[in-house]
Amino acid sequence: MKDETNSRNSAVFIIPLLVAVSSFSLFILAVINGWMGPAQNVGGDFCEGPYDGLIKQPVNTWSNFGFITAGLLVAWQLMKGTYRQQRNMLTQNDFSAIFFSSLVVLLGPGSMAMHATLTPIGGELDMLSMYLICAFMVAYATQRYYRWGAPQFVVVFISVIVICEVVGLYHPHLPIIDYAGNAIFGGFIITAIIFEMLNSFVRKAQHEKKWGAFGLISLIAAFAIWNFWKNDSPLCDPHSLIQGHAIWHLLDALAVYFLFRYYVSEHREE
């Protein structure tokens, strides 16, 4: 029995690690072989480059290692049982632990695809990576509120992604947020926050709320930088190693890690 427990705990890290290696390898192969097609300046609004060569926006591309690092750190801490004293779904349920940490890892290659290639396919993968995290937040919050199992979690998760993809088909430019896909992403983030408040005040789940505050501050700071460091901004230098959009990636990765710390601080009054 002890060996089975150790094997299961190891999988909490090994599976996200395999996701990281395989997804990044697939990204590299896609770039080298041109599987995503020719560059069409998709994502070209974010100041950097474009450069000649395989990687069109190197700083914006490689800054996405922040997500891979965050996902593997989450997986490692869950495997080691760092927060095991808090009884919640991430610390007690292997499916939730593996699903969340693997998803965080995938945010990196998804965003890399757009910034490296500036192609429509890369842009779709970048938006999908955003939809993944908001879908998890909504599905995980509602799962805990309604006390659902894994099947209901998966249904909500997939439903949110489908809704985001459909809304994202609306392409006209929108003020401040640029695209309808960004708007629905923000809408579902707000939905998740509402359900987290219900979990706290109705379900009486106890959290270290400072982690939620840190995550929200990081997200707001990232959004401000995302808006004020685009093309034609006084801050924009296309050939600088300091790129605002890269800072946006790093702050978002930090926000996701703070979100994780908020989740694993949960303790429910039964």
Residues 125-151 have pLDDT tens digits of: 999 999 999 999 999 999 999 999 999
**Tens digits of residue pLDDT in 79-110:** 999 998 898 999 999 999 999 999 999 999 99
Highest mean pLDDT among 167-181, 201-215, 244-258: 244-258
| Confidence label for 1 from pLDDT (cuts 50, 70 and 90) | very low
Q: Which residues pair with 267 in a beta bridge?
A: 206
Domain regions of the chain by residue span: 2-268
The contacts of residue 25 (CB under 8 Å, 6+ apart) are none
Q: 213 — phi, psi (to 5°)?
A: -65, -45
Task: Tell me the whole-structure pTM to 2 decimals.
Answer: 0.93
Which residue is it, tokens 């400072």?
A: 210
Tens digits of per-residue pLDDT, 46-88?
999 899 999 999 999 999 999 999 999 999 999 999 998 898 9
155 CB-near residues (< 8 Å, 6+ apart) = none
Residue 168: what are its φ and ψ, rounded to 5°? -65, -10
* pLDDT tens-digit series, residues 152-200: 999 999 999 999 999 999 877 777 777 888 999 999 999 999 999 999 9
Residue 252 Rama label (left phi>0; alpha psi -120 to 50; beta): alpha
